[in-house]
Amino acid sequence: RPLRPGVFRSVAMSFARAVSLFSRTAAAGARFAHSAASQASGASGKKLWFFAGAFGASAVAVYMYSRDSVSADKKVINILISGPPGSGKGTQSANLVRDYKLVHISTGDMLRDEVKAKTPLGLKAKGFMDAGQLVPEEVFFDILKARLSQADVKQRGWLLDGFPRNRAQVELMNKNGLIPDKFVLLTVPDDIALARMCGRRTDPVTGKIYHMLFAPPPNDPEIRARLVHRSDDSEEKGRVRLQQYHKNMD
């Protein structure tokens, strides 16, 4: 079967890279061999040093080519994680970031950072927030696109948490070609999700999240006194959030 143009181009680039690496390392090896041979006594000593230098240069070239090839062929993975409130998205996101070295993009944190930094998009979003209005989908998505275009995200890949939340946001992602390689959907019964939400506490100093039953904070009066219970983690508001989540998923 004939090679596709993309495959031929990839093979050609790999060959060119190998030739370039071998030329550089061979030249270095030759200089080393010549220097060593000039100091060696006798013809046999000079030959030994020359072949040792040439062999070393070849070995280095092979190693460098293999290392660069693996690095060049490494695929950046983009993951989207979703699930109801209290399903453990934060915990699982931390695991994925640790294992795959991804950039964790929490849309809520991202929006707050833009507003705090007073970027043009952040100021635009702040205008709606100050007026008690929801930030329009288009403005929110422009902020997301700006974050995804940054160098660290392009090099390491992203883990998107908290977006999309509804059909309109899904359509925006599709329209802009923002398609994840993997989609992680967490499922948990509503009663367990409620129990997790109601028992959650956040340390405003460290940012660490505890659960009074499942993952209690240390027995330190100072830490326990400063823990914050989010207003939307009450049972009443938790049920509303779960209903909204199921409505969006349907």
Q: Please say if 200 is a catalytic residue.
A: yes
Beta strands in 44-173 (DSSP E): 79-82, 103-106, 158-161
Token pair, residue 126, equals 């702040």
CA distance 50 to 16: 26
The amino acid sitting at 223 is I
Are 21 and 68 in contact by the 8 Å Cβ rule? The answer is yes
Q: Which of 47, 116, 145, 230 is catalytic?
A: 230
Closest CA to 215 of 200, 205, 230: 200
Q: Which of 24, 126, 165, 224 is catalytic?
A: 165
The amino acid sitting at 4 is R
Q: Which of 89, 147, 196, 201 is catalytic?
A: 89
Q: Please say if 154 is a catalytic residue.
A: no
The residues near 195 (Cβ < 8 Å, ≥ 6 apart) are 86, 213
Q: Which of 147, 196, 201, 241 is catalytic?
A: 241
CB neighbour burial string for 201-234, b if at least 16 within 10 angstroms, e if fewer: bbbeeeeeebbeeeeebeeeeebeeebeeeeebe
Q: Which of 147, 196, 200, 201 is catalytic?
A: 200
Q: Please say if 239 is a catalytic residue.
A: no
Return the number of other C-beta atoms located less than 10 Å from residue 148's C-beta.
Answer: 17
Q: Please say if 89 is a catalytic residue.
A: yes
Q: Please say if 226 is a catalytic residue.
A: no
Tell me which residues are annotated as active site. Answer: 89, 165, 200, 230, 241
